[in-house]
Chains A and B, each alone.
Chain A
Amino acid sequence: MTERSTMVTVSAEVAGQEGDPRSGQISMRCDDVAVKFNGRTAIRDVNFDIPKNKVTALIGPSGSGKTTLLRAMNRLHDLTKGAVVSGSIRLGDTDIYKGGIPATLLRTRVGMVFQRPNPFPTMSIYDNVVSGLRFNGIRNRAVLQEAAESALIAAALWDSVSNRMKAHASTLSGGEQQRLCIARALAVEPEVLLMDEPTSSLDPISMRLIEELLDELKSRVTIIIVTHNMQQAARVSDLCAFFLMGNDRAGEQIEVAPTKKLFSEPDDPRTLDYIQGRFG
């Protein structure tokens, strides 16, 4: 992978810390991010950096705005009436809302995997994997073929589908469909991959398979994963951001720390309460 020249260097305070995932390059940066739906705040006070080629987990109870924040990062709220994103979210040096980058181009750089597998039902396995490339005007068959193979291998799906690429995506199991969706997102070679509880609708074996994948995918793409499964966050992530609803039911960032630290000695007592299961 080529290094981007647009990376922001981190503050001296954390940079010196031993083993802090933030001591490397930064991929995305949130400054004072808040999202409102029709004037009602869903999440606010989001301030943290997402380290490049690491896994960052967003954890917190249901309704704390994790999905909302994730969808702000690829501007998926753009089409939601009444949704307003404030503050700044940067990808490299580009402010994704004010930097003049078209949402479609942004989304080729920041891919997404959803909570439930959502392969295109009319398309074959192959067509699903290369759909993102085709949507963006890439027609060259050799290029498509190569990208498909690379993405399917990366998603640990190549061995089981390489001989039935023309089959419909719906012939795959739920876990395979989700890995197909991962491959589909990877095929456009995004810099960042957003994953919204990607294993919550899957069986434990499929879940483990995807968790193991993340470790290998890190070198290829920066991962931001929402999970309400704390064991999962502990297993897969390098950095962890914890959110909680304030008194007005709006989600807030409570603490961001290297995963090890957050799960062993968090700074905020509310974090400790949550990881010890003291919130409903």
Chain B
Amino acid sequence: MTTGVIEGLPPDPILERREMVQRVARKTLDRRILVSKGMIGLCGIALLVGLVPLFAILYSLVAKGVHWWSLDFFTKTPQFPSLLDPNQIGGISNAIVGSLVIDGIAALFAIPIGIVAGLFLAESTSKFASLLRTTAEIMTGLPSILLGIFAYQMIVIGFDQWGIKLPGIGFSGIAGSFAIGILMIPIIMKASETALRGVPNTIREAGLALGARRGVVARRVIIPTAAPGLITAVLLAFSRAVGETAPILWVIGASTVVAWNPKKEMASMPLQIFQSATSPYVSLREEAWGIALLLVVVVLIVNLGSRLFAAWLQRERR
């Protein structure tokens, strides 16, 4: 059959294929490297396109805003500029305090509600859970001014005109907190659902297998394990809420004095930007840059802080 010489052997398809793969791979290597570099370049350009506007905004905010930051800016209340000194416009301490109180109260009720609802979404497979999830998705997509209208009806004017004995409490910080809180809840809910779902099922089952009830597993195992994600969820929702203007536009009234009582009218930073920027006085309009810068700095700090804290917490566990 065979003569024993190498030429007489049938061609080996495996060896041939191996050689072909090597040959083609070598031949196309240069082209593939080129394509890869080109793609990386395109990614770089896309990154620049994204970053340029961001830094342009930051730059103009700092350039036009930072010189308004003075002791007066942080400690005084607004006043109209006098003819003698048009830059004598006081400060925005009322807006800083207002934002602090309004957003603080909003966070106080939105965080627990949001996390508990997120836990429910993560742990339940019921119809109600999917209904709730859809509702939350719709709510995050709603124009935020609708929340303002809602808060106006629920808190500011109440239901007296419908013959229901639920009087409104008028323009007030609490009405703003209500609107901001409602805005935060679905954001926290969705983000904490994601964080809680990230907890491996084996950890959950370890708890159950020790005889723990589901609530105990949730409280003692799942929530602590998801803590870094939950903190990020909460702070992202918070930094989103801090800058919202529309929901509070006509529910917190207007206050030019420092007011700590949330049942009274209040000021807030986003609203103050709006009011300053639309005022007839040049110096007030310019000051809006300073307030905007402050708002951005707060949001940046909250954002960065949440990320750093979550990363630190993650590292602590290694």
Interfacial residues, chain A to chain B (CB-CB below 8 A): 74, 76, 79, 81, 104-108, 111-112, 114, 116, 118-123, 131-132, 134-136, 168, 170-171, 181, 184-185, 188
Interface of B is mostly: helix
Chain B residue nearest to A119 (CB atoms) is B206
Contact stretch, chosen from B30-38, B69-77, B220-228: B220-228
Chain A residue nearest to B126 (CB atoms) is A81
Q: Indicate which residue in B200, B203, B210, B317 contacts A132 across the interface (CB closer than 8 Å).
A: B210
Residues of chain A within 8 A of B210, CB atoms compared? 107-108, 111, 131-132, 135-136, 184-185, 188
Residues of chain B within 8 A of A185, CB atoms compared? 209-210
Cβ A135 vs Cβ B216 within 8 A? yes
In the complex, A111→B212 CA distance in Å?
Answer: 12
In the complex, A121→B224 CA distance in Å?
Answer: 9
Is residue B4 within 8 Å, beta carbon to beta carbon, of the partner chain?
no
A-B contact pairs, 9 of them (CB 8 A): A76-B205, A105-B211, A106-B211, A111-B210, A112-B209, A118-B202, A120-B203, A120-B207, A122-B317
Cβ B211 vs Cβ A104 within 8 A? yes
In the complex, A112→B204 CA distance in Å?
Answer: 13
Cβ B202 vs Cβ A116 within 8 A? yes
Cβ B317 vs Cβ A114 within 8 A? no
Cβ B211 vs Cβ A121 within 8 A? no
0/1 interface trace, chain B 210-246, chain A, CB 8 Å (1 if under): 1111101100110011010000000000000000000
Cβ B203 vs Cβ A121 within 8 A? yes
Is residue B318 within 8 Å, beta carbon to beta carbon, of the partner chain?
yes
Is residue B134 within 8 Å, beta carbon to beta carbon, of the partner chain?
no
In the complex, A171→B316 CA distance in Å?
Answer: 11
Cβ A118 vs Cβ B227 within 8 A? no
Residues of chain A within 8 A of B2, CB atoms compared? none
In the complex, A108→B203 CA distance in Å?
Answer: 17
In the complex, A216→B1 CA distance in Å?
Answer: 66
Is residue B125 within 8 Å, beta carbon to beta carbon, of the partner chain?
yes
Chain A residue nearest to B216 (CB atoms) is A135
Report the minimum CB–CB distance from A103 to chain B (whole Å).
Answer: 8
Chain B residue nearest to A108 (CB atoms) is B211
Is residue B282 within 8 Å, beta carbon to beta carbon, of the partner chain?
no
Report the minimum CB–CB distance from A166 to chain B (whole Å).
Answer: 13
Chain A residue nearest to B125 (CB atoms) is A81
In the complex, A134→B317 CA distance in Å?
Answer: 21
Cβ A170 vs Cβ B207 within 8 A? no
Is residue B208 within 8 Å, beta carbon to beta carbon, of the partner chain?
yes
Chain B residue nearest to A131 (CB atoms) is B210
Sorted nearest first, the 9 A-B pairs with minimum C-beta distance are A132-B210, A108-B211, A135-B212, A112-B209, A107-B211, A122-B224, A118-B202, A118-B206, A104-B211
Cβ A74 vs Cβ B209 within 8 A? yes
Cβ B211 vs Cβ A131 within 8 A? no
Chain A residue nearest to B318 (CB atoms) is A170
14 more A-B contacts (CB under 8 A) besides A107-B208, A118-B200? A79-B208, A79-B214, A81-B125, A112-B205, A118-B202, A119-B206, A120-B203, A121-B203, A122-B225, A132-B211, A135-B211, A135-B220, A168-B317, A184-B210
Residues of chain A within 8 A of B225, CB atoms compared? 120-122
Report the minimum CB–CB distance from A179 to chain B (whole Å).
Answer: 14
Q: Indicate which residue in B202, B211, B213, B227 contacts A114 across the interface (CB closer than 8 Å).
A: B202
A81-B125, A170-B317 known; A136 vs B203 contact (CB < 8 Å): no
